[in-house]
Amino acid sequence: MDKINIKRHSINDTFKILGEIPQSEGLHIYNTKEEFFESPFSYPFRSESYTVLLVHSGEVTMQFNLAKYHLETDDMVFISPHNIISILEIKNSVVMMGVSFTLNFALENSINKNEMDAFDFFASKSVPHLKLKSDEVSHIKMLIELLHKKNTQINPFHGKELLTHSFNLLMYELASIYRESNSDVKVKMTRKEELTSKFFKLLEENFITERKVKFYSDALFMTAGHLSKILKEVSGKTTGELIDTAIITEARILLSNPSLSIAQIAEELNFSDQSFFGKFFKKHMKLSPSEYRKKR
């Protein structure tokens, strides 16, 4: 049986589909003002990059993992690589602007190497969604257009520095808007919150193949009991519960694709057979995979 994967697109993959010529390594600014009347992506996918997406005009309904978002003019979302993206509906037509970058680009071009606060809105397990004010929109559009120019028309004199500073200026401006809209969110994470964030990153990268608590506690240099205690305190769930939640979330997303058989999904999720997958799923969802699919 062929292994079925949710497609994973690099920056170049994504913008090639959109008819764009690749820009610099690890950074692409989408600023064409092209109208879309239907989705250019007919399937769910993951992007290997981080993306800031601004709706310039029109309406679009998107799904990130299992959460739906109806986006209108002046709405902005911050999309991370762990999100599975589906474009469900475009109403009339939509024009979007976007900035996509890899983690390597952000690290290499961060002005302060030890201070990554300007990117912490990407760490959220949900997808941060903002409605921008008119002055914020004009400012962000100006900065996106500036970054696009610096990324496509490299100046022979200090071109790298101009690109780096333009990128950081946009990121810090976005961070300021995000913090103002989420003033109750802690700016600095506690030690336990930092550990939880590291756990979620490990989980996102490994949950398909690694389901034992010991793998994660060893990777974080602590005992399994201590890790579970911290995760329970911060997230409300133990390590084992969070691992199971990640698997179930992925299973529900795959089950929403009618072209995949339950046997294919069981294999994709690294279960030994369809029966074991069915028992695991029913234990957590109170429905068998087939019953869940029919109910949807």
What is the domain-level CATH number for residue 140?
2.60.120.280
pLDDT score of 188:
53
pLDDT score of 31:
87
Residue 42 lies in a domain: yes
Classify the C-alpha dihedral 131-87-123-107 as positive or negative. Answer: negative
Structure tokens at 244: 């199971």
Same domain, 138 and 195: no
Same domain, 86 and 198: no
Mean pLDDT of each 10-residue bin along the chain, 296 residues long? 67 88 89 87 87 93 88 91 87 91 78 54 69 92 95 84 92 86 58 83 88 94 94 87 90 88 94 94 94 86
pLDDT score of 169:
92
Same domain, 213 and 291: yes
Residue 1 lies in a domain: no
Position 163, amino acid: L
pLDDT score of 219:
93
Same domain, 155 and 84: yes
The whole-angstrom separation of Cα 165 and Cα 161 is 6
Structure tokens at 258: 């009618």
Phi, psi of 34 (to 5 degrees): -75, 140
Same domain, 164 and 207: no
Same domain, 172 and 203: no
Instruction: Count structural domains, the chain.
Output: 2
Position 55, amino acid: V
- Contact between 28 and 105 under an 8 Å Cβ cutoff? The reply is no
Q: Which of 181, 215, 242 is the last residue of a domain?
A: 181
Same domain, 158 and 205: no
pLDDT score of 124:
59
Residue 2 lies in a domain: no
pLDDT score of 142:
95
CATH for 286: 1.10.10.60
Among 203, 256, 234, residue whose Cα is nearest residue 44: 256
Residue 48 lies in a domain: yes
Structural domain boundaries enclosing 101: 7-181
Q: Which of 148, 181, 214 is the last residue of a domain?
A: 181
Q: Which of 150, 181, 212 is the last residue of a domain?
A: 181
Phi, psi of 9 (to 5 degrees): -105, 135
Among 266, 230, 236, residue whose Cα is nearest residue 251: 266
Same domain, 125 and 237: no
pLDDT score of 249:
84
pLDDT score of 76:
92
pLDDT score of 5:
66
Same domain, 169 and 288: no
Same domain, 72 and 13: yes
Among 248, 216, 251, residue whose Cα is nearest residue 231: 216
Q: To which residue do tokens 């921008």 refer?
A: 132
pLDDT score of 186:
47
pLDDT score of 117:
54
Same domain, 129 and 207: no
pLDDT score of 201:
83
Please report the beta strands in 31-120, taking only residues with DSSP state E, as ranges in sequence order: 45-47, 50-64, 67-71, 75-79, 84-101
Same domain, 84 and 175: yes
Question: H helices within the chain, ranges in order?
Answer: 11-17, 103-108, 134-152, 159-181, 191-206, 213-219, 224-235, 239-255, 262-268, 274-285, 289-295
Structure tokens at 296: 């949807």
pLDDT score of 113:
46
First vs last C-alpha separation in the chain? 26
pTM of the model: 0.66
pLDDT score of 189:
58
